[in-house]
Structure 1
Amino acid sequence: MPLSRLLSRVKFDVYLLSLIGTVAVAAVFPARGPAEPIAKGAVYVAVFLLFFLYGARLSTKAVVEGIAHWRLQSLVLLSTFALFPLVGLGLTAALSHWLPTELAAGLMFVCVLPSTVQSSIAFTSIARGNVPAALCGASVSNLVGMVLTPLLVGVLLTTHGSGFSLKALTDIALELLLPFGLGQVLRPWVGPWITQRKRVLSYVDRGSILLVVYSAFSESVVAGVWSHMDVRSIVLILVLDAVLLAIVLAATTAASRLLGFSTEDEITIVFCGSKKSLASGIPMANILFPGAAVGAVVLPLMLFHQIQLFACASLAQRYARRPIPAAPAPDAVRA
């Protein structure tokens, strides 16, 4: 597949450049003094709106129906919240002497995040997988992650300077679960309007994330977090992100085949079970970690996000090239 077509599939260029540009702006013009509380207030509003829109767009019926495929959903959740953390613990323990504390915490934070929704469904569709199950798996992963991610942060990241506490869990409920729940309640009224404006609202999604990234990196720049970061550490985290994804992709593929899932279900398990959500992760990091550390903590997630897009786009095309099963021949007309 030509590289230009691959890039057009994953929308790599515009969004990645926007993220890089946002980090550059934060490095040169961080929010200081009177601008800091304004930036934090804007982030709160943006994240509230972001999760309200998620709730308004998600079909409750689709989630309930998809849960019936419990074997598939269980494997997705196990990969997302068990396999990933186990692999992450092994990698960070093996390289603890080479990774700065914030980047090691960031790698583990990637491991405890829920799956993506939009790209998991998109790649499953391209690969001709079980799209309804992907919709359910990714959605349930995000719902479970709102509770399980902060709990896993508290259990696994205590040695990495995590700011987890009961207050952090309360903040997650107020800033993420509350707007999500409001979106679900108001969905019968606002859902159709939102569905008709997907393109416009996608800019709201991405704009919210960019605003949170700016605020997070501003705090880390003002606090001088980046003064002890070097290129070697950043390259190392990039390699570890790639290794982490490769291990999980291989494990989910092998487990799907060993347990006798169909190819369509395997595709869903591989894509939903190997991806991590930038959209959920950055707002959560903003709540769970000390302000000055957030910029460095989310760097492994931003790198992982781009790696997973390229890897999964290539894998989706490979699945899509498999032969289409022949339709059964019609019964012969009887005399």
Structure 2
Amino acid sequence: MTRVLTVFDPMVRLLVLAILLASVLPATGGQRDIAQAVSNGAIFLLFLLNGLRLSRDQVRRGIGHWQFLLPLAIWCFGAMTLMGKGFAIAMAPVLPPMVALGFLFLGALPSTVQSATAYTSLADGNVANSVVAAALLNVMGVFLTVPIFAAMGGGSAAELGMDGLVKIVAILVVPFAIGQVLQVRLAPWIGDHRALITWMDRLSIAIAVYVAFSAAVEQGLWARVGAAEWLVLLAGVVAMLGAAFGAAWAIGRMLALDIADRIAFLFAGAHKSLAMGAPLASVLFPPAAAGMILLPLLVYHLLQLMVSAPLASRLARRPRQAPDCCG
């Protein structure tokens, strides 16, 4: 478990490889259309698998625990979106517009499923709540992230026209619904092939990142974002990550959650999902814009893994009578 939950996680290595490959051998011209078609197919598969994995019993249990889920959803889609908006405004004078807008996109995304649950387990938190909450937040994210982002982003955000709505339904909603329909029949197969399913997830995300970055590289990504801008971007992401972890822990305390539920709230509340962000960006934005908008999310994703590993270990070693570890 500890080995997987490090910056050397296979997903991180795949993302680095995708970015390097896009920088050296970007998909351009006719190749970009082929790559985009492959990416759309991979995204369809990703959400089909998500639908297959989330059982209906999990959905029912998650909805039933509204005292935990409702504040988490308000935090994730409300407060974090406002936080992202604030960082986007603060970053706008010093970063390219699409990169600054990426902070708002980051804030409007749901939590991760796999890593938030894994770190909750490592920290001896409530794994059942973490699994159900993170999964339901991702389902909600399909319907909430885009309109929230469009409303908060103003004229600089993507407008969700009929074409965009059709793409979201066809590539994200339909495969998830198919997965739910087939879930009972195929759940045993999913359980027997967890390693294969995990790699299919990772490859789908990496393909979406490669396609987005290929177009951004073609538009001069590395020339438009210089060393100074990268430092500003890193500082902004570190500040947002610190605020997210600190506030999520404080909210768990204010809600009087027990320590196991506070840990689940912490990781589900502070993590942001690249598995949702990369496909959404590729569906919503032109490829060149998608690569720029994804930059804050990619940096955040790496840093949340780096922060979560030692934090989860510290929480696991906590004295049971003194649960307050994060301030």
TM-score range, shorter chain: over 0.9
Q: CA deviation at 1:28?
A: 1.8
1:29 is aligned, of 25, 30, 40, to 25
1:234 aligns to 2:254 (yes or no): no
Aligned to 1:132: 128
What secondary structure does 1:276 align onto?
coil
1:25 partner amino acid? L
Alignment of 1:1-335 (within 5 A): 8-10=4-6, 12-323=8-319
Structure with higher Rg: it is 1
Aligned to 2:324: none
Q: With structure 2 as the length reference, what TM-score do the two structures score?
A: 0.93
Separation in structure 1 between the aligned mates of residue 148 and residue 199 of structure 2, nearest angstrom: 31
Q: CA deviation at 1:225?
A: 4.3
Q: Tell me the number of residue pairs that the alignment of Structure 1 and Structure 2 aligns.
A: 321
TM-aligned CA distance change 1:206 to 1:185, over 3 Å? same
What secondary structure does 1:271 align onto?
helix
Separation in structure 2 between the aligned mates of residue 252 and residue 60 of structure 1, nearest angstrom: 27
Once the two structures are superposed, residues 267-295 of structure 1 have per-residue CA deviations (whole angstroms, 9 ceiling, x without a partner) of: 11111111110111100000111221111
TM-aligned CA distance change 1:265 to 1:161, over 3 Å? closer
Verify the 8 A CA contact 1:63 1:135 in the aligned structure 2.
no
Q: CA deviation at 1:205?
A: 0.7
1:34 partner amino acid? G
Q: CA deviation at 1:125?
A: 1.0
Q: With structure 1 as the length reference, what TM-score do the two structures score?
A: 0.91
Aligned to 1:330: none
Q: Aligned residues: percent identity?
A: 36
1:268 partner amino acid? A
Separation in structure 2 between the aligned mates of residue 235 and residue 280 of structure 1, nearest angstrom: 26
Verify the 8 A CA contact 1:83 1:248 in the aligned structure 2.
no
TM-aligned CA distance change 1:287 to 1:8, over 3 Å? closer
1:290 partner amino acid? P
Verify the 8 A CA contact 1:162 1:290 in the aligned structure 2.
no
Q: CA deviation at 1:13?
A: 5.0
Once the two structures are superposed, residues 45-95 of structure 1 have per-residue CA deviations (whole angstroms, 9 ceiling, x without a partner) of: 111111101110111101211222211111211121111111122222233
TM-aligned CA distance change 1:11 to 1:204, over 3 Å? farther
TM-aligned CA distance change 1:11 to 1:89, over 3 Å? closer
Once the two structures are superposed, residues 121-180 of structure 1 have per-residue CA deviations (whole angstroms, 9 ceiling, x without a partner) of: 111111111111111110110011001011012111234343533432321111011001
1:55 partner amino acid? G
1:317 partner amino acid? S
TM-aligned CA distance change 1:288 to 1:71, over 3 Å? same
Once the two structures are superposed, residues 294-318 of structure 1 have per-residue CA deviations (whole angstroms, 9 ceiling, x without a partner) of: 1111111111001111112222111
1:176 partner amino acid? L
What secondary structure does 1:10 align onto?
coil
Structure 2 residue runs without a partner (length 5+): 322-327
What secondary structure does 1:265 align onto?
helix
1:95 partner amino acid? M
